[in-house]
Amino acid sequence: MRIQADQSKCQGHGLCRMSAPDVYDTDDEGQVVVRFEGDIPAELEDSAVLGVESCPEVALTVIDD
């Protein structure tokens, strides 16, 4: 499972980071950074989904390969 972040939608609220700090961060400009470029480690998948669901801008998408 991967997470795709749409930077054009991200408003930098940081709710994803607060919900799942092991998966999401924000950069100096307040844009979301997914800590994993490829697959999310299995033990963090639930956290990753929580972060997706917390985003009010629908900027995060789960990609199931």
* Contact between 60 and 5 (Cβ < 8 Å): yes
Site for ligand SF4 contains 4 (CB under 6 A): no
What mask of x and - would describe binding to ligand SF4 in positions 5 to 44, judged by CB under 6 A? Answer: -----xxxxxxx---------x-----x------------
Out of 22, 25, 53, 57, point to the residue binding ligand SF4 (CB under 6 A).
57
| Alpha-carbon distances, residue 37 vs 5, 55, 56 (angstroms) | 10, 19, 22
Q: What are the start-end ranges of the H helices in the chain? A: 15-19, 45-54
Count, residues near ligand SF4 per rule CB under 6 A: 14
